[in-house]
């Protein structure tokens, strides 16, 4: 074999090796809590050999980024943002039927363009060192009392999916009086960078009450922190946190592998036991979590909330500016 042929073979081998390396990655945009990402990312990479290239941002920023990249998509998967945000932006995502679709709980059934990943719930995180149990706020309406001014930690509803969920929760629970109640709560809020940071401020005593997700608060409770969880007596929503395959994903096959992995029984069992999220599979029990039968729920209709999303956020921005 002559020298030119050997060079050509070497070049081809190098290109083939590069292509193979590129195939072993998946680009993921996530609004997930950092602790959860740190728990799951190495597990996925070790089990599949596929490297996650991660962009972490708030739900609103993720949607804006994916939309800006529509002409040349860079993300393969959106991991963990509110179902209503995905529902309202279905043009950005591609339909995919996961390998274990038959095991998914119909209660978390989503549109064809996105999938339920875990069940999430809005709760109050309260500081147990500075508040006695009889002083805990019991309802959303309680939080509108001026005595809580400057003492409630929350993220912005226009940046955080879970904070938008809290807004929607109040509007649904109180109907015509929804904005009146919510604006009272908003007037008492101190804004944080993310919903995941809220329980840290409560645990450290910088706030007395925090509006956050059940699992974010449960992390501190299980760790022996200065924090207790209150499920609002006037109702909280239990909805699907979503995942989706980005339309035109550059690493589509690996994106599908990641989605299947997140919905697999072992991973769903892991997120319940180690993270405190509620499972979306019917064959995985919610061990260690308060039974749903003991929590007052509000009906959170995702398509309806998605249709109202832009209107509600516009109203929220005006209320925030004028508070």
Query: Tell me, what's the pLDDT at 323?
Result: 86
Q: Is the pLDDT of residue 9 over 50?
A: no
Q: Is the pLDDT of residue 13 over 70?
A: no
Every domain of the chain with CATH number 3.40.190.10 lies at 3-119+239-287, 120-238+295-322
Burial of 22 (0-12, 13-18, 19+ CB in 10 A): exposed
The Cα 210–Cα 22 span in angstroms is 42
Query: Tell me, what's the pLDDT at 284?
Result: 96
The torsion angles phi and psi of 122, rounded to 5 degrees, stand at -80, 135
The Cα 81–Cα 87 span in angstroms is 11
Q: What is the mean pLDDT of the chain?
A: 91
> For residues 207 and 58, is the Cβ–Cβ distance under 8 A?
no
- Annotation: CATH topology of 120-238+295-322: D-Maltodextrin-Binding Protein; domain 2 (3.40.190)
What are 241's strand-pairing partners?
A: 82, 118
Strands 77-82 and 25-30, by their bridges, are parallel
Model confidence band, residue 8 (pLDDT cutoffs 50, 70, 90): very low
pLDDT in tens, 267-294: 999 999 988 899 999 999 999 899 989 9
In this prediction, residues 68-77 reach a mean pLDDT of: 97
pLDDT in tens, 19-62: 444 579 999 999 998 888 999 999 999 999 999 999 999 888 99
Q: Is the pLDDT of residue 18 over 90?
A: no
Q: How far is CA 303 from CA 59, 110, 144, 194, in A?
A: 18, 9, 28, 25
**DSSP assignment of 202-239:** HHTTS-SEEEEEHHHHHHHHHTT-SEEEE--TT-B-EE
The Cα 287–Cα 66 span in angstroms is 35
What number does CATH give the domain 3-119+239-287?
3.40.190.10
pLDDT in tens, 151-191: 999 999 998 988 999 999 999 999 999 999 999 999 999 99
Model confidence band, residue 109 (pLDDT cutoffs 50, 70, 90): confident
Model confidence band, residue 7 (pLDDT cutoffs 50, 70, 90): very low
Any residues with CB less than 8 A from the CB of 7 and at least 6 apart, and which? Answer: none
Burial of 306 (0-12, 13-18, 19+ CB in 10 A): buried
In this prediction, residues 252-262 reach a mean pLDDT of: 98
Model confidence band, residue 141 (pLDDT cutoffs 50, 70, 90): very high
Model confidence band, residue 146 (pLDDT cutoffs 50, 70, 90): very high
The residue among 296 and 10 whose pLDDT is bigger is 296
Query: Tell me, what's the pLDDT at 1?
Result: 54
Query: Tell me, what's the pLDDT at 11?
Result: 42
The Cα 309–Cα 68 span in angstroms is 19
Report the alpha-carbon angle 255-258-260, nearest 5: 110
Any residues with CB less than 8 A from the CB of 47 and at least 6 apart, and which? Answer: 261
The torsion angles phi and psi of 191, rounded to 5 degrees, stand at -85, 140
Note if the pTM is more than 0.85: no
């Amino acid at each position: 074999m002559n020298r030119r042929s050997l060079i050509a073979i070497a070049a081809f081998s190098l290109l083939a090796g590069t292509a193979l390396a590129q195939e072993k990655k998946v680009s993921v945009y996530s609004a997930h809590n950092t602790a959860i990402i740190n728990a799951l990312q190495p597990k996925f990479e070790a089990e599949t050999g596929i490297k996650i290239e991660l962009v972490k941002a708030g739900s609103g920023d993720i949607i804006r980024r994916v939309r800006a990249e529509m002409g040349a998509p860079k993300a393969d998967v959106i991991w963990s943002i509110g179902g209503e945000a995905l529902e309202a932006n279905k043009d950005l995502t591609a339909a995919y039927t996961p390998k274990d679709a038959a095991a998914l709980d119909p209660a978390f059934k989503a549109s064809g363009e996105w999938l339920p990943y875990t069940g999430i719930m809005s709760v109050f995180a309260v500081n147990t060192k500075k508040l006695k149990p009889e002083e805990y706020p019991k309802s959303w309406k309680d939080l509108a009392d001026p005595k809580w001014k400057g003492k409630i930690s929350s993220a912005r509803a226009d940046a955080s999916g879970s904070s938008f969920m809290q807004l929607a929760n109040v509007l649904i629970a109180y109907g015509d009086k929804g904005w009146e109640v919510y604006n009272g709560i908003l007037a008492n809020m101190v804004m944080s960078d993310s919903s995941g940071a809220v329980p840290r401020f409560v645990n450290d005593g910088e706030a007395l009450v925090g509006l956050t997700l059940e699992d974010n608060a449960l992390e501190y409770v299980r760790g022996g922190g200065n924090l207790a969880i209150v499920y609002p007596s006037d109702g909280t929503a239990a909805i699907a946190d979503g995942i989706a395959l980005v339309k035109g994903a550059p690493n589509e096959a690996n994106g599908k592998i990641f989605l299947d992995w997140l919905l697999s029984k072992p991973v769903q069992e892991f997120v319940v036991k180690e993270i405190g999220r509620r499972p979306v599979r019917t064959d995985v029990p919610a061990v260690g979590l308060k039974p749903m039968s003991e929590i007052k729920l509000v009906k959170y209709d995702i398509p309806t909330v998605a249709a109202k999303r832009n209107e509600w956020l516009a109203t929220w921005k005006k209320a925030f500016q004028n508070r």
